[in-house]
C-alpha cells in the first residue's frame, strides 16, 4: 500500500491506500472526510490537487476532454480522488 496524505483546512491526515483502491474509498475507511458527491468521476465535487506523487486517474482518460476537469486542470495536477488509484506515495491538497 502507498501512504497518501490529504491536506484539508490546513490539517494533514495520512492513510494507506492499496494500488487497486480509490483514494476516496481509502480516506473514508480511515475516517478522513473529503468532499464528494457522485463518487463516479462525473460531478467534480472531489477535485483535489496532487502536490506530490503519481496516480492512475483512470476514468479521466476515458471521459471527453473538459467533461469534468479541463486539460489545463489536469496538466496542473488536479485529480478526482473518487476515481484515482495511487501509483506512489502521494500528498493531496483536498478541497
Ligand atoms: Fe464526483 Fe469525484 S465525487 S467526481
pTM: 0.90
CA dihedral 1, 22, 47, 86 (to 10 degrees): 30
Backbone angles phi, psi at 3, to 5 degrees: -90, 125
pLDDT at 64 over 70: no
Ligand 1 contact, 23 CB (< 6 A): no
Task: Tell me the three cell numbers of residue 22.
Answer: 480509490
Cβ neighbours, 10 Å, residue 11:
9
Q: Counting atoms of ligand 1 from 1, which one is nearest the CA of 46? A: 2
Q: How far does the centroid of ligand 1 lie from the alpha carbon of residue 1, in Å? A: 23
Average pLDDT, the chain: 90
Determine contact, residues 65/8, Cβ cutoff 8 Å: no
pLDDT at 84 over 60: yes
Q: Residue 61: pLDDT band by 50, 70, 90 thresholds?
A: low
Ligand 1 contact, 37 CB (< 6 A): yes
Q: Counting atoms of ligand 1 from 1, which one is nearest the CA of 82? A: 2
Determine the average pLDDT of the residues in 45-53: 96
Amino acid at each position: 500500500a502507498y501512504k497518501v496524505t490529504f491536506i484539508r483546512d490546513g490539517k494533514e491526515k495520512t492513510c494507506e491506500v492499496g494500488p487497486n483502491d480509490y483514494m476516496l474509498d481509502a480516506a473514508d475507511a480511515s475516517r478522513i472526510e473529503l468532499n464528494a458527491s457522485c463518487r463516479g468521476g462525473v460531478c467534480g465535487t472531489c477535485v483535489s490537487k496532487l502536490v506530490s506523487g503519481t496516480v492512475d486517474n483512470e476514468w479521466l482518460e476515458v471521459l471527453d476532454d473538459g467533461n469534468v476537469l479541463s486539460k489545463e486542470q489536469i496538466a496542473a495536477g488536479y485529480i478526482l480522488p473518487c476515481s484515482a488509484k495511487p501509483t506512489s506515495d502521494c500528498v493531496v491538497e483536498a478541497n
